Structure 1
Amino acid sequence: MSELSNQQPSADDAVVKSMQRWLERAVIGLNLCPFAKAVHVKNQVHYVVCRATEPADVLDVLREELLGLAQADPQVRDTTLLILPDAFREFVNFNDFLYSADKALRKLKLDGELQIASFHPQFQFADAEPDDIGNFTNRAPYPTLHLLREASIDKAVEAFPAAEQIYEKNIATLQRLGPEGWAALQVGPHIAPL
């Protein structure tokens, strides 16, 4: 595991920069998550690059980061992006791992306090074709576990009462944007035009 300053600073720095570009251009730029801008602007997003490749090793890092987020001052670290550039290249393996991730959250007795959201370059909704533009609502440059505070989600939902409509709005936004528009954002992953 490394956090920008350890084993591979230049490679890890490139990973973080790629994720920040995705956050700024896609998530915030397209307003896919109306809650992301505030934590980004306040530098409350903690980026962790995990170079582990084995699921058990990723789980160890995930546990550390869950505990770290739970103990951190929310004004300093409100959320964590655990980026896995070397693990779970195939979406099906990543998707299978999410069960273990949620189990780890429960074993740490942090369910109800924290949540884990997921992003993957090959993300695919169960009822969608692989090249469906709607899949891009959950696609990021690297497999990523987004660790969120329940209290922050609750505050955000209070400020944005139509939170249940975000998903549908995001699909419509990406359909208007299309594959070429997504590619123009240069945030990866890319798909061929339909």
Structure 2
Amino acid sequence: MSDAVKSDVIQQVQQWLEDVVIGLNLCPFAAKPNRNKQIRIHVCESKAEDQLLEEIYQQIKELDETPAEVLETTLVVAPNLFEKFDNYNQFLDLVDALIIQTGKEGTYQIASFHPDYCFYDTKPDDAENLTNRSPFPIFHLIREASMEKVLKHYPDPEGIPGQNIQCVESLSPEQIKKLFPFLIK
């Protein structure tokens, strides 16, 4: 992957983060670390799942070694893997197993995003799937302690998924095209 292609991947993920995740307030906790430049976007250039798993492990180690004030969270982007959502979804089990095997359960959790994300018991075209659709497959490494800290001050954390679904269901077709250009095939 050339530097230009890698830079384009980072730019697309940053644009999605700012326009969709923060712009639609799908994650009310993302704006501050984004503003403070505490979010790392790591692009895995490999086409091999074992290499991606190793890079996710290395990013977890980097989070361990870096204070949250400097690096709050990491988005591991896999532009060369998981064209099919089912394959991505199965790989999430390996990521969860990695977190358990490294003793990091309770320290980190994964939020998952994919261009074809489809929640269980939904149809692919259901609007609620937009809440987890991204330009590329992404594994978001979240510090649980940071999440617990911000949730203490948030009035209705249990209501966030419902609010997000309402938000994306209210988008016009034009807004969807503008916010999710990567979905147009």
TM-score interval (norm. to shorter):
over 0.9
What's the counterpart of residue 189 of structure 1?
Answer: 182
Partner SS for 1:189: helix
Partner SS for 2:181: coil
One-letter amino acid of the structure 2 residue matched with residue 130 of structure 1? P
1:92 lines up with 2:90 in the alignment: no
Distance in 1 of aligned mates of 2:172 and 2:159: 20
One-letter amino acid of the structure 1 residue matched with residue 182 of structure 2? P
1:128-143 paired onto structure 2 within 5 Å:
128-143=122-137
Paired residues of 1:133 and 1:178 also in contact (CA < 8 A): no
1:49 to 43, 46, 49: 43
Distance in 2 of aligned mates of 1:181 and 1:46: 27
One-letter amino acid of the structure 2 residue matched with residue 95 of structure 1? N
TM score, norm. by length of structure 2: 0.96
Deviation (angstroms), 1:98: 0.3
Q: 1:162 and 1:80, CA in 2 relative to 1: closer, same or farther beyond 3 A?
A: same
What's the counterpart of residue 141 of structure 2?
Answer: 147
Distance in 1 of aligned mates of 2:73 and 2:58: 14
2:75 to 51, 62, 81: 81
Partner SS for 1:166: helix
What's the counterpart of residue 159 of structure 1?
Answer: 153
TM score, norm. by length of structure 1: 0.91
Q: Aligned Cα RMSD in Å?
A: 1.3
1:63 lines up with 2:57 in the alignment: yes
Distance in 2 of aligned mates of 1:104 and 1:161: 33
Q: 1:128 and 1:178, CA in 2 relative to 1: closer, same or farther beyond 3 A?
A: farther
Deviation (angstroms), 1:59: 0.7
What's the counterpart of residue 27 of structure 2?
Answer: 33
Deviation (angstroms), 1:90: 0.5
Paired residues of 1:133 and 1:179 also in contact (CA < 8 A): no
Deviation (angstroms), 1:191: 5.3
One-letter amino acid of the structure 2 residue matched with residue 136 of structure 1? L
Identity %: 37
Q: How many matched pairs?
A: 185
Deviation (angstroms), 1:73: 1.2
Unaligned runs of 5+ in 1: 1-6
Distance in 2 of aligned mates of 1:191 and 1:166: 27
Partner SS for 1:177: coil
